[in-house]
Amino acid sequence: MREVDFHGVSSTSLTRSPARMAARRPRVGGRRRWPHADRSFEFGTLAFALGVIAITLVVAGVLFHSSAAARDRYGWSFLWTSTWDPVQLEFGALPFIYGTLATSAIAVAIALPLGLLAAVCLAELLPTRLSDPLAFLIELLVAVPSVVYGLVGVFVLVPIMRSIENAVLPVLGSIPLFAGPVYGIGLLTAGVLLAIMIVPFIVSVSREVLLAVPQSQRDAALALGSTRWETVWHVVVPYARSGILGSVFLALARALGETMAVTMVIGNRPDISASLFAPAHTMAAVLANEFAEADSNLYLSALIDIAFVLFGITIVVNGIARLLIAATTNRATEVRG
């Protein structure tokens, strides 16, 4: 979302007046004194820019190298073994992969409708005077540290979820998906908290994408007799489809890697249960909980292997998100131009 933050600001706002700039006349003659100054400057800054690629490679390299022991021992079966027993030194990542995917899926299922509706409201209905400050407030939510969400989750959301789950249990308890016992902490609570955390992402990116849809599309639909809602729902939203999907993938990537808030409300138990109310565990949460305490090489290596898998998953999801968003914004500018 960082790219989105300031699109509301016009380009001229960031510059000083040309007259003032000209008054500070640059020293002429730099070229003669250092004939290669321009090239050196370019390559100098390039070196720093390449740092980003270097860091990405170093992260991948360190994770791959340090997880070798676990990979040698378990190979691919690490991914679908569900025993996690540090005492017996038996490690399988399935409960964590399941927990990560399940909580993220719950989060997206709740956050997508909510975020899309809010984005429609901000982009299509409200006047800029009202929607800009509201969008800014929602972007502030992105900045709230996840440990703060976790704190509020533990002391506010968990009791709420416990009473909701207790109310639901007598009615739906016979269905395995909603089976007890109820703790308040667990898969569903983590999913709901994640949903609250990623809604602002979806809102702010989707709003940008909706605002990029050419006005002519709306005019045409309205001229054909659509109501404003039909215009939004059948023309504007489908036009921005891939960008909205991109925002969802971006939010998904954040949900997959979210650590603190999840670990505080999920119960941290490496079990795969059919029930949404049962405690579970995620890849990021197990790292946060057990990494500092891992007392054997194999244990540490298994944890780093989990980090490696998590790294791989988020890279793929992020890559898809960037491509989708780039595709929409390009299309919008093409049509406009």
Partner 1 sequence: MSSNYRRRHLVERIMFGATGLATGFTVGILIFLLGFLVYQGGSSLSLDFFTHLPTPVGEAGGGMANALVGSAKLLFVAALVGIPVGFLGGVYLAEFGQGTLAFSIRYAADVLNGVPSIVIGVTVYGLVVVPLGHFSTLAGGLALGLIMIPVTLRTTEEFLRLVPTSLREGSLALGAPRWVTIVRVVIPAGLRGVTAGVLLSLARVAGETAPLLFTAFGNRFWSEGWLQPTASLPVMIFTYAVSPYDDWHRQAWAAALVLLVLVLGSNVLARLILNRGQGLRRAS
Residue 278 C-beta: closest distance to partner 1, Å: 19
DSSP-derived letter for residue 156 is I
CB nearer partner 1, residue 178 or residue 212: 212
Question: Please, which residue, 172 or 219, has the CB nearer to partner 1?
Answer: 219
3-state SS class at 82? coil
Considering only CA atoms, which of 68, 81, 96, 61 is closest in space to residue 301? Answer: 68
- For residues 256-275, which are near partner 1 according to CB under 8 A? 256-260, 264
Which phi and psi angles does 201 have, rounded to 5°? -60, -55
Q: How far is Cα 24 from Cα 77, in angstroms, rounded to an integer?
A: 66
Residue 80 binding partner 1, by CB under 8 A: no
| Contact set for partner 1, span 90-109 (CB under 8 A) | none
CB closer to partner 1 out of 87 and 292: 292
The residue with tokens 């027993």 is 85
SS3 188: helix
- Residues 142-161 contacting partner 1, CB under 8 A: 143-148, 150-152, 154-156
In 3D, which of 110, 113, 135 has the Cα closest to residue 122? Answer: 135
Residue 55 lies near partner 1 (rule: CB under 8 A): yes
CB of 31 to partner 1, least distance (A): 5
* Binding to partner 1, residues 107-146 (CB under 8 A): 113-115, 117-118, 120-122, 125, 134, 136-141, 143-146
Q: Which residues contact 141 (CB under 8 A, 6 or more apart)?
A: 199, 200
Q: How far apart are CA 64 and CA 73, in angstroms?
A: 14
230 is a site residue for partner 1 (CB under 8 A):
yes
Q: Which of 93, 196, 211, 245 binds partner 1 (CB under 8 A)?
A: 196
Nearer to partner 1, 156 or 274 (CB): 156
- What's the min distance (Å) between Cβ of 177 and partner 1? 25
34 φ/ψ angles, rounded to the nearest 5 degrees: -125, 95
